[in-house]
Amino acid sequence: MGAKEKILQKIHDLITTKFKSSEEAFYFYDEDKDGNLSRDEIKMLLKAAEISGLLRGVVASELIKGYDKSGDEAINLEEFKVAIAELERDL
């Protein structure tokens, strides 16, 4: 299993073991309740998933780059659901 797959597995494990749904995870990490996960909020999720501190910034940026279809440098709930669905499909 490569580094990317290990990171995806850790995120998946966090979301499926600590939350009833991806929506619950989204709202938990949306600290400012603006309906988006900012880069810092995504980094908090990654920290909880036990992703190395050195990688969190890079992974957060890649997630935003890959899933932010609205171009606001954050991930909204619909974008988050797409990311989680793809993650589950790829594992």
Residue indicated by tokens 């998933």: 49
Question: In total, how many domains does the chain have?
Answer: 1
Say if residues 56 and 41 touch (Cβ distance below 8 Å). no
- Summarize pLDDT for 31-54 with one digit per residue, the tens: 999 999 999 999 999 999 999 999
Question: What is the extent of the structural domain holding 63?
Answer: 3-90
Say if residues 43 and 60 touch (Cβ distance below 8 Å). yes
Task: Cite the DSSP H helix spans in 49-76.
Answer: 53-67
The yes-or-no verdict on residue 16 having pLDDT over 70 is: yes
Kindly give, in sequence order, each residue whose CB lies less than 8 Å from that of residue 22, ignoring residues fewer than 6 positions away: 15, 80, 81, 84
pLDDT band per the 50, 70, 90 thresholds, residue 65: very high
CATH of the domain at 49: 1.10.238.10
What CA–CA distance (Å, rounded) separates 39 from 29? 11
